[in-house]
Structure 1
Amino acid sequence: MPEPATEETPLVGDLWIGAWIAAFAVGFLVWGLILWAVIAYRRRNDQLPKQTRFNIPIEFLYTVAPLFIIAPLFYFTADHQDQITDTSAEPDIVVNVIGQQWSWTFNYVDEDVHEVGTINDRPTLYLPIGQTVRFDLESPDVIHSFWIPSFYMKQDVIPGHPNSFQVTPDREGTYTGRCAELCGAYHQSMLFTVEVVSEQEYQDQMDGLREAGQTGLIDPPIRGAYSDVPLNEDEGGEQ
């Protein structure tokens, strides 16, 4: 897995590792029982083994044992999910993310500036270290998926159904983001860069967007309006 870059990533990482440990434990148990049955009850002579129609203790075990396996997995998954998806805390920064065929638009709501990406001009998302960021996700065309692997977080971007989540970046660096939902002919081009920087550098970048005239917030575009690629039936869309 990528090196974690937010305060929330340990929750996801611990759950992922725990699920693998549980899977291997159950797997070894099942493989061991199968091997034991093959060896212990292998055919030794021509005598027909005793035929039974049911075995209440065994059937009870088969019913109850999975519950003891699934219940802890369900509990920890639900508990971690509630913590990861909790957006009740007031964020320091709000970024409105628009996913459109086939790039991304980032509206920095608190700064009243924006950056519009295209297929030929990959956008960069700037985030200050140590500050909680809420991403508000929306799409004007098809389902996309906003994914930053080093944040251990992926959220669908669904037309007519806004989604949101919060993270607190805790490691400066450059990270890759992408769309994780097949969304048309140029899905593979829906890439963006994430820069986790100091607060001063973040403010410098916001000032740079203002100086470039990228002020105000962009509404979700008409389908394909910012893609720099003609959208027609042969390319996975319609005029």
Structure 2
Amino acid sequence: MTARKPSGRRRFKLAGAVAIGTAAALLLSGCTSEASKGWLPSERDMTDRTQYGWDLWINSWIAALAVGVLVWGLILWCIIAYRRRKTDKGYPRQLSYNLPIEIFYTFVPLAMVFVLFYFTDIAQTKILQRSDDPAVVIDVRAKQWSWDFNYVKENTYETGTQAQLDGKTGARDRIPTLYLPVNRTVELQLNARDVIHSFWVPAFLQKMDAIPGKTNYMTFTPQKEGKFDGKCTELCGEYHSEMLFNVEVVSQAQFDQRMQQLRDRGQSGQIGKEYDRNSKLTPNPVSKG
């Protein structure tokens, strides 16, 4: 028994459904706050480091499109120039190899990879460069499924608990907020209390893992005030999708005011390793230092 082939009408309906589904997916993906800004979820001078990732991304696309146009042009040229004519008989002449062409399509891709590697290395080196004396040092501790922020020099902290994001209004107020002063160099010390997490603020075009037992460093200078979204981008368990945080870049006066508010709440000191999953230290809510 053979399966009956779909009729032309059924094939048309199926193709239409696929097209509608694809269009809907593209439209919905454009509804996110990141996608609404176009090619990149940021502006070129959001921090002193975003320009490097921005330029690398845009220039890589330009190079890729240039190569694509060249390849598409060559394919069309071959299709037209070497198409089979009505007067042709038998098979076309067969060529076993063409040494100049083989050298060309071996050397050019290698050269492109080395050029891309060169500019990527330059951008990565500048993005990861640390400051000898950052104005603000923040010990960021990722945990299932929230964040703790220790403001080291200010000797204050903010701790987050997992927020049940039920789609109701006010969800943003239930997740922790990281405060950063504008035009001041910030160093984030990324640590994890349990499993591997990843710290990402899309607007800053920087992302880095937080690994248990290892401290990673992220350094930058915010250059524009505003409110931004942050999230964990390493699958870390059941509620990974709800491991969110806010970022507020404010003036120095507003930052100092926020630090004083934390002190007034009794949130002085640092929440350190005592709450790490594998810590052998005696639990102590806050390390006064």
TM-score of the alignment, normalized to the shorter chain, above 0.5: yes
* Larger relative contact order (Cα-Cα within 8 Å, sequence gap ≥ 6): 1
Alignment equivalent of 1:33, drawn from 63, 74, 78: 74
1:77 Cα offset (Å): 0.9
Pair 1:137 & 2:190 matched: yes
Contact persistence 2:42–2:202 (CA under 8 A) = no
Contact persistence 1:100–1:223 (CA under 8 A) = no
In the alignment, the residues of structure 2 paired with residue 191 and residue 91 of structure 1 have an alpha-carbon distance, to the nearest angstrom, of 25
Q: Where in structure 2 are there 5+ consecutive unaligned residues?
A: 1-39, 164-173, 279-289
Pair 1:2 & 2:41 matched: yes
- After superposing the two structures, state which structure 1 stretch, 163-172 or 72-81, moved more: 72-81
Pair 1:110 & 2:153 matched: yes
In the alignment, the residues of structure 2 paired with residue 131 and residue 208 of structure 1 have an alpha-carbon distance, to the nearest angstrom, of 20
Aligned partner of 2:127 in structure 1 is: 84
Pair 1:185 & 2:238 matched: yes
Q: Equivalent residue of 1:6, what SS?
A: coil
In the alignment, the residues of structure 1 paired with residue 133 and residue 60 of structure 2 have an alpha-carbon distance, to the nearest angstrom, of 31
Contact persistence 1:104–1:192 (CA under 8 A) = yes
Aligned partner of 2:251 in structure 1 is: 198
Q: Which amino acid aligns with 1:20?
A: W
1:103-182 aligned within 5 A = 103-120=146-163, 121-182=174-235
**CA RMSD in angstroms, aligned pairs only:** 1.5
In the alignment, the residues of structure 2 paired with residue 119 and residue 62 of structure 1 have an alpha-carbon distance, to the nearest angstrom, of 54
1:57-68 aligned within 5 A = 57-68=100-111
1:104 Cα offset (Å): 0.4
1:115 Cα offset (Å): 0.5
Contact persistence 2:137–2:152 (CA under 8 A) = yes
Per-residue deviation, residues 68-93 of structure 1 (Å, max 9, x unmatched): 32222211111111011011432111
**Which 4+ runs in 1 deviate beyond 3 A?**
none
Per-residue deviation, residues 3-23 of structure 1 (Å, max 9, x unmatched): 332121111111110111011
Contact persistence 1:101–1:223 (CA under 8 A) = no
Per-residue deviation, residues 34-62 of structure 1 (Å, max 9, x unmatched): 11112222222223222222111111001
Percent identity of the aligned residues? 50
1:40-79 aligned within 5 A = 40-44=81-85, 45-79=88-122
1:103 Cα offset (Å): 0.3
In the alignment, the residues of structure 2 paired with residue 135 and residue 56 of structure 1 have an alpha-carbon distance, to the nearest angstrom, of 54
1:160 Cα offset (Å): 2.0
In the alignment, the residues of structure 2 paired with residue 164 and residue 75 of structure 1 have an alpha-carbon distance, to the nearest angstrom, of 23
Aligned partner of 2:8 in structure 1 is: none
Q: Equivalent residue of 2:259, what SS?
A: helix
Contact persistence 2:160–2:175 (CA under 8 A) = yes
Per-residue deviation, residues 97-139 of structure 1 (Å, max 9, x unmatched): 0111000000001011110111123111111010000001011
TM-score, structure 1 normalization: 0.89
Aligned residues: 224
In the alignment, the residues of structure 2 paired with residue 209 and residue 88 of structure 1 have an alpha-carbon distance, to the nearest angstrom, of 26
